[in-house]
Chain A
Amino acid sequence: MRITRIVNKPESLTDEAIDLSPMDALIEKYKNKFGSLIPLLQGTQSLFGYVPMEAFKKIADATGIAVADIYGVATFYAQFRLSPVGKNIIKVCHGTACHVQNANSITDAIKDYLNVNDGETTPDGEFTLESVACLGCCSLAPVMMVGENTFGKLNGKSAVRIIKDLKNQLCNAEAEEKTKN
């Protein structure tokens, strides 16, 4: 299942100038190699969390590939995001095994709790909720991934509890940071 992409970004975001210099090393590495568009886009996404519009132009200038073609590739593959995402990405698995073990109830419970739709980010920029195809942990179904951590054998309640705990941790960390300052 692919994430629903929100292609129309709020204007405030498009106006923001992004420093693209971290991409220089990446472009240097790939620009003269055939068939390197996908690694270039992957590298860009891992730098910024998404592929900013300005990065398309930069890649086009460096490689000579038309922006339209790059955009075509970026929108073809489920991996690429064209708008910024939250700090923590919640990937709820909707593979077959998870589906028959009621993965929908997990997505629904998280949607209710965070008050966002599938593919959206919370207004505070902390969490993005995504539905993904198989994470490959089918025997632990239903499964979700928060950041790099995978959680298995969930139900709606336990999934929400994991996110609640994480939220509390983040709040505490922030409070600590404030008292330090």
Chain B
Amino acid sequence: MQKTKVIVGLGSCGIAAGASKTYSRLEAILAEGKMDFELARTSCIGMCYKEPLVEIQDSKGKIIYGDMTAELVEEILSAHILEGKIDTEKAVHAEKLATKEDSFFKGQVKIALRNCGYMDPESIDEAIERDAYKAIEQLVTNKISSENIIQTMMDSGLRGRGGGGFSTGLKWKFAYQNESDQKYIICNADEGDPGAFMDRSLLEGDPHAVLEGMMIGGYTIGASEGVIYCRAEYPLAVKRLNIAIGQAKEKGRLGSNLFGSKFSFNIIVKEGAGAFVCGEETALIASIEGQRGMPRKRPPFPAVSGLWGKPTNINNVETWANIPWIINQGAAAYAAYGTEKSKGTKVFALTGKIKNGGLVEVPMGVTINDIIFKSGGGIQNNKKFKAVQLGGPSGGCIPAELGDTIVDYDSVNATGAIMGSGGMVVMDESTCMIDLAKFFLNFTQEESCGKCTFCRVGTKRMLEILERITDGKGQDGDIEKLEELADQIKNNSLCGLGQTAPNPVLTTLKYFRQEYEAHIYDKKCPAKVCKPLLTYTIDAEKCTGCTVCAKKCPVNAIEGSRKTLHTVDQKICIQCGECFTVCKFEAVLVD
């Protein structure tokens, strides 16, 4: 009989949910000798909403249990191992058994995330067992020509997964055609979009796929040096990358004269220092060179003059992770997924007011509704789906009415949003669209590097108008002013940050104009978020006269003695919402 294996999901979000404690508890159980099993670790399988996750492999097959806190794990484990009972309530994924959570995986096609959650990311042997470095070895030993590989990439239809959507094959071709004694490969792991974490998950779960992708890129364009520019906020990703690089060197998968050929490749990790604009190619290069991360004019493009003035090819983490799979399985297998102009799969980070938050990888061409309601399980607390924000601060809001939009680069662009890196923040009726637009603009305004006046000053002016509107001081003409500024910023900024910064405002104006008008003309916030626009009153039927709200009110605007109805003096009220928060009887009404 095979030995029982217990695997704990130790990605960043698993650890935040308590997976390290679960792991320690399991170590203690082993030490106590109560049960006999082999303890192992893996990374995120994407089911963040059920973390911590524990997988048990034995004669019953593989079963993953969700919500496995340190307190619960012993009970479930002893039932499973000693009594042979499966807790169907806690089981979230199983080989031979249907679970309640199967809809999360149904419809997913894992190419980029093929190994995440299926192996120990700190063990190169497990990675090699799952075909790591097979593609590069085959290319090098069979002396496949660069033209050939570029053609494969073109045939696969792979487009840059960082958001730009530029053809990867074409990008490689430019870098290949420029002759130079030294060329560079860069992996853009500066995932700055708030609400997107697929790159972090990939680096933590399958670092070897990214390394191998970069090697294939280097072999193709003729580069021997690779740099991974990783966000400093991702310490675990940096740690696992360095472990993977060390192991690959030891095993002869990285270094000089690889696979008995003249091909050499080295990779170093550079930690970013916290600047959103460094996701832009030229700013990223400036940052690696140790300067302020400010974009410069293109051309020359990095393919001509990039890092240290040499031809450089930059792709993002998810793009690199796809490449070994394409080489192994062939361009046609990849192009079999997707739509006419967007091939393959895309990873989305589902967050916000969604039931099943996590990472999903779906073929291009499925609809937004499919992702939200099938994989995502719908909206939290069964509220109404209002909109989804795609593409982070550079993207836009797609309203529920357009939920049938398919996800490919061109269809999403047509709505005014962008595919971006794949952050999908779901909103329900309790989200105020103006507050959201203000949030994004606040972000881009603070992250603007300051080089272009329109971006530096224009975003600030737009933010001021939005602040005025949410403070209840909106004026007639504000909407038009926003549109005018947005147009100028879009057309007069050098880099992607400025060119896309007005998108959240423009899309919310396009689809939720009536909400702006309600704020400006009626002085009402329909989602009841903007506090200065709210009126608090007390429901005579529900008020028990407990006096809690009156005691808590910081300006003494609530009157009423014990066991009598309380009232709010609207002239004194500062709309802080404290009474609403403290009332246990839902007697405080907000309008």
Contact = CB atoms under 8 A, between A and B. Distances in A.
A143 B51 CA distance: 15
A151 B436 CA distance: 24
Nearest to A153: B17
Given A41-B273, A132-B233, A139-B357, A97 B194 contact: yes
Interface in A67-100: 72-73, 76-80, 94-100
A76 B292 contact: yes
A132 B291 CA distance: 22
A136 interface: yes
A63 B588 CA distance: 63
B104 to A, nearest CB: 12
Interface of B: 12-13, 15-17, 48-49, 51, 191-197, 200, 232-234, 270-276, 287-293, 308, 349-353, 357-358, 389, 392, 423, 425, 427, 431, 436, 439-440, 442-443, 446-447, 449
Given A95-B195, A100-B431, A133-B443, A138 B273 contact: no
A6 interface: no
Nearest to B349: A138
Interface in A32-89: 34-39, 41-42, 72-73, 76-80
Which of B233, B271, B290, B349 has the most C-beta atoms of chain A within 10 angstroms of its own C-beta? B290
A163 interface: no
Interface in A129-164: 132-141, 143, 150-152
Given A79-B232, A95-B195, A150-B16, A37 B290 contact: yes
A137 B276 contact: no
A2 interface: yes
Contacts of B350: 139
A5 to B, nearest CB: 12
B446 A96 contact: no
Which of B273, B293, B389, B427 has the most C-beta atoms of chain A within 10 angstroms of its own C-beta? B273
Contact of A151 (B16, B196, B274): B16
Given A1-B442, A2-B446, A100-B353, A134 B197 contact: yes
Contacts of A42: 232, 271, 273
A99 B193 contact: no
- Chain A's interface size range is 35 or more
A136 B233 contact: yes
B193 to A, nearest CB: 7
Contacts, number: 134
A98 B13 CA distance: 14
Interface string A88-132: 000000111111110000000000000000000000000000001
A136 B288 contact: no
A139 B233 contact: no
Nearest to A80: B273
Contact of B273 (A79, A99, A140): A79
Contacts of A143: 16
7 contacts: A39-B271, A76-B292, A100-B425, A132-B233, A133-B276, A136-B200, A139-B350
Contacts of A141: 351-352
Given A136-B12, A136-B233, A95 B292 contact: no
Contact of A34 (B195, B289, B423): B289
B292 A137 contact: no
Contacts of A133: 192, 194, 233, 274, 276, 443
Which of B197, B353, B423 has the most C-beta atoms of chain A within 10 angstroms of its own C-beta? B197
Contact of B12 (A34, A37, A137): A137
